[in-house]
Each structure stands twice: as structure tokens, then as C-alpha cells.
């Protein structure tokens, strides 16, 4: 299965991707997580990406496309992958479509998670994540067992630096302008699945898996 997961910031892409990638036994590849790892390791890519991410803007296509194409060429992607947060612009979608076609590895599905704006703001403002393992929680809806600490490794949870009110506004408007047009792109390709992602985690997971059958 080669799947793309679309949706606005805070729609639940990362949260749902974990369960779906386990269900299909394929790697979960999040461009946001990969950039954050590079930032914490102080790599050249991380330094280039950081300023864009802190402003809520997109990292330039030229950096992202080569990075993802390299990642999906690794042996663990032989049976497929789940992309979370990529593609995010029409040039990224076109380049990746051509890349897959050239390898005779067509994308199977593009799943778009639909969530109303007021719920997005609530989800993002309540999000906390583990800086060590990347696990994502929510102080309202998806609490850790011990307040403020990761269930897996006990690390103190943090709020993402791009989850400020101002940056979230920019990320939402960038999503509308740059990423929403991908819904039409994948509809035209005949692989779009739209899923109502407002609802309990397990219920949304079930809807996604049903849509992928």
C-alpha cells in the first residue's frame, strides 16, 4: 500500500498515521517529524528548514522533494509507505506522481482528513509531544497516564514551537492556499478518499481503514 495522508494542521494525521501504518505494516513517514529530527540533530537540512517552520511557512519544494524521494527508496518501503504531511503543494504532488510512475509504483490512495476550524484550534492548543520518541498527546482528549510525561519513556512532554496562535493562523492559511488544491489533484487521479475526522480517535481510525478497503 502506498498511501498519502492529507489534512489541515491538527487534523490528526500523525495520530492516525501511527495506527494505519501498524495495520498495514508499512513505514510512517512524516516530513514534519523528519525536519524536527534534523533540527534537533543540528544538520544542514534542519538549519535550512527551521526558519520556515517557525514562521508557519512551507519549506521550499526543492528541499522536500529530494528528501522524500530518497526516503521512499529505502528497502523498508519496498511494500509501501504512509506519507504524512507530503505532498503539500501541487509541484510536490506532480513531482512525486511522476517519480512513482517512473518506478512503476503507483500511489494507491490519498486520504483527506476533514475537521472544522474550531476543532483544529482546540486540538492544536491542547497538543503535547514527547521530544524523545515523538509520541503525541492532548491535554483535553488524549491524556498521558501520568500528567505531563510520556507513557513510553517518562520524558517531560513539550508544546511544539510552531503551535503558537500566530503561527497556527499562518499554517492554516498556507494550507488553504497551497495544500487544499491537492484534493482536486487526487480526485482527478481517481484515488481520493475523504474521511470525517471529527470524532473519537478509534472511530476516526475505523473510518480511515474502511475507506482504504
Minimum Å gap between C-beta 66 and ligand AP5 is 12
Give pairs for 51-56: CB < 8 Å, separation 24+: 53/162, 54/161, 54/162, 54/167, 55/167, 55/170, 56/162, 56/166, 56/167, 56/168, 56/169, 56/170, 56/171, 56/174
Mark 181-200 with x for binding to ligand AP5 (rule: CB under 6 A) and - for no binding.
------------------xx
Q: Work out which of 23, 24, 52, 97 binds ligand AP5, going by CB under 6 A.
A: 52
| Active-site choice (2, 13, 36, 207) | 13
Binding to ligand AP5 (CB under 6 A) within 150-169 occurs at: 162
When asked if residue 144 is in the footprint of ligand AP5 (CB under 6 A), the reply is no
142 has which bridge partners?
Answer: 138
Minimum Å gap between C-beta 148 and ligand AP5 is 14
When asked if residue 15 is in the footprint of ligand AP5 (CB under 6 A), the reply is yes
The residue ranges that bind ligand AP5 (CB under 6 A) are 7, 9-15, 31-32, 35, 52-53, 56-59, 64, 85-88, 92, 123, 126-127, 136-138, 141-142, 162, 171, 199-201, 204
Question: Catalytic site residues?
Answer: 13, 88, 127, 160, 171
Amino acid at each position: 500500500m502506498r498511501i498519502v495522508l492529507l489534512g489541515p494542521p491538527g487534523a490528526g494525521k500523525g495520530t492516525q498515521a501511527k495506527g494505519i501504518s501498524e495495520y498495514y505494516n508499512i513505514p510512517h513517514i512524516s516530513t514534519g517529524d523528519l525536519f524536527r529530527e534534523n533540527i534537533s540533530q543540528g544538520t544542514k537540512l534542519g538549519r535550512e528548514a527551521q526558519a520556515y517552520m517557525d514562521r508557519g511557512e512551507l519549506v521550499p519544494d526543492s528541499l522536500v522533494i529530494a528528501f522524500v524521494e530518497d526516503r521512499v527508496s529505502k528497502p523498508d518501503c519496498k511494500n509501501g509507505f504512509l506519507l504524512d504531511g507530503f505532498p503539500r503543494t501541487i509541484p510536490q504532488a506532480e513531482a512525486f506522481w511522476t517519480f512513482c510512475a517512473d518506478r512503476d509504483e503507483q500511489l494507491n490512495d490519498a486520504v483527506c482528513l476533514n475537521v472544522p476550524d474550531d476543532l483544529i484550534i482546540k486540538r492544536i492548543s491542547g497538543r503535547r509531544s514527547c521530544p524523545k520518541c515523538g509520541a503525541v498527546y492532548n491535554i483535553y482528549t488524549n491524556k498521558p497516564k501520568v500528567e505531563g510525561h510520556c507513557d513510553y519513556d517518562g520524558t517531560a512532554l513539550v508544546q511544539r514551537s510552531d503551535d503558537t496562535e500566530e503561527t497556527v493562523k499562518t499554517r492554516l492559511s498556507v494550507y488553504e492556499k497551497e495544500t487544499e488544491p491537492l484534493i482536486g489533484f487526487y480526485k482527478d487521479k481517481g484515488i481520493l478518499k475523504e474521511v470525517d475526522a471529527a470524532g473519537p480517535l478509534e472511530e476516526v481510525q475505523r473510518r480511515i481503514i474502511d475507506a482504504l478497503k
